[in-house]
Amino acid sequence: MYLKVNRMFTSLRKYGWIFTVIIAIGGRWEPKLGLAVLFIMAGLTMTSLFMGRYWCGNICPHGSLFDSLLPISKNKKIPEFLKSKAAIVGFLLFFMLNIFRKVSAVASYWGTYDFLDKLGFIFSNTYLVVMIVGGLLAVFITPRTWCQFCPMGTMQKASHFIGDKIGLSKKTNKRITIESIDKCISCGKCEKVCPFQLSPYKNFNENNQFDDIDCIQCSTCIANCPLKILSLENTRQGKEYKKVYEVDQNY
Ligand code: SF4
Ligand code: SF4
């Protein structure tokens, strides 16, 4: 049912996985490499304030790794329970408690030469575990299975919620936008190629936009729509699209 199509539209998406391998494997020998994960966490939290889950679809090194496994993936339907609130919240709590426990344990080394090594090792190790578990899920289910309950994805959703409420994302957050709902032939290709198995064509809102917090703005549906009627636009542009089409229809 789901199609395997190219998702690597930029160099970052094509080669970002190398960063994952360096942090996860290189961290065995140089634990300080793991400290880079702190910058990643800061980066994804900041970008999501303005752009939702853009990071997941375009910058995340683990996402790049999982997508690169598509050729050998079974590309099956993602089990519903992995997308459930219970799985998402449960996994976030598990992750937070685990990190808190480990960081508390190394806090006693503060001020010593070993502190940064021990702290870095925690994050490098986490990167390695995600690489193995997420990689196995990618091969045996579909590449973006891990992303359904990834704690970093959940943090981005929370950050985006705040950005939305205080108006930060109004102009910057883009959504999949259709030229006109009437033009869609409901072929379902946008759903079949979507790494998150979302269904844009069944869920366009009054502004001709697909407003789903889980959309990672990866543009795979845009590249594969046979009519080329999809694009990524902010809310204002979406409303303008609609207006232009309505004017055209009245002529
Ligand atoms: S791929 Fe394009 S034409 Fe097909 S269902 Fe999606 S939006 Fe409609
Ligand atoms: S709806 Fe389109 S842009 Fe959003 S995740 Fe699916 S394929 Fe990517």
**Nearest listed ligand to the Cα of residue 232:** 2
Q: Which residues contact ligand 1 via a Cβ below 6 A? A: 178, 184-190, 201, 225, 227, 229-230
- Closest-lying ligand 2 atom to the alpha carbon of residue 210: 1
Q: Give 238's contacts (C-beta < 8 A, 6+ positions apart).
A: 175, 177, 207, 208, 209
Q: Give 23's contacts (C-beta < 8 A, 6+ positions apart).
A: 33, 34, 36, 37, 61, 123, 124, 127
Mean pLDDT of 86-109: 96
Given pLDDT bands bounded at 50, 70 and 90, which one contains residue 247?
A: low
Given pLDDT bands bounded at 50, 70 and 90, which one contains residue 170?
A: confident
What is the average pLDDT score of the chain? Answer: 94
What is the reported pLDDT for 250? 57
Cα 232 to ligand 2 centre (Å): 10
The helix (run of H) or strand (run of E) holding residue 232 is: strand 230-233
The helix (run of H) or strand (run of E) holding residue 201 is: none
Residue 45, both tokens? 């939290």
Closest CA to 153 of 73, 236, 41: 41
Measured between alpha carbons, how far is 66 from 146 in angstroms, rounded to an integer? 9
pTM for the whole structure: 0.92
Closest CA to 37 of 131, 111, 109: 131
Cα 192 to ligand 1 centre (Å): 10
- Closest-lying ligand 2 atom to the alpha carbon of residue 176: 3
**Nearest listed ligand to the Cα of residue 221:** 2
Give me the half-sphere count of Cα atoms (radius 13 Å) on the Cβ side of residue 204.
24
What is the reported pLDDT for 237? 73
Helix axes 61-68, 17-26, angle to 10 degrees: 110
pLDDT digits (tens, 9 = 90+) for 111-129: 998 999 999 999 999 999 9
Measured between alpha carbons, how far is 53 from 152 in angstroms, rounded to an integer? 10
Q: Which domains does the chain have, with CATH numbers?
A: 11-164 (no CATH), 174-250 (3.30.70.20)
Residue 153, both tokens? 């994805």
Question: Maximum distance among all alpha carbons in the chain?
Answer: 75
Comparing 60-74, 140-154, 189-203, 227-241, which segment has the lowest mean pLDDT?
227-241
What is the reported pLDDT for 246? 62
User: Pocket of ligand 2, candidates 3, 67, 219, 232: which has the most ligand atoms within 8 Å of its Cβ, to mutate?
Assistant: 219
**Protein residue with its CA nearest to atom 2 in ligand 1:** 225
- Closest-lying ligand 2 atom to the alpha carbon of residue 216: 5
Residue 44, both tokens? 């994804």
Measured in degrees and rounded to the nearest 5, phi and psi for residue 210 equal -95, 100
**Protein residue with its CA nearest to atom 4 in ligand 1:** 187
User: Pocket of ligand 2, candidates 196, 203, 222, 229: which has the most ligand atoms within 8 Å of its Cβ, to mutate?
Assistant: 196
What SS3 state is found at 230? strand
**Protein residue with its CA nearest to atom 7 in ligand 2:** 194
pLDDT digits (tens, 9 = 90+) for 4-30: 999 999 999 999 999 999 999 999 999
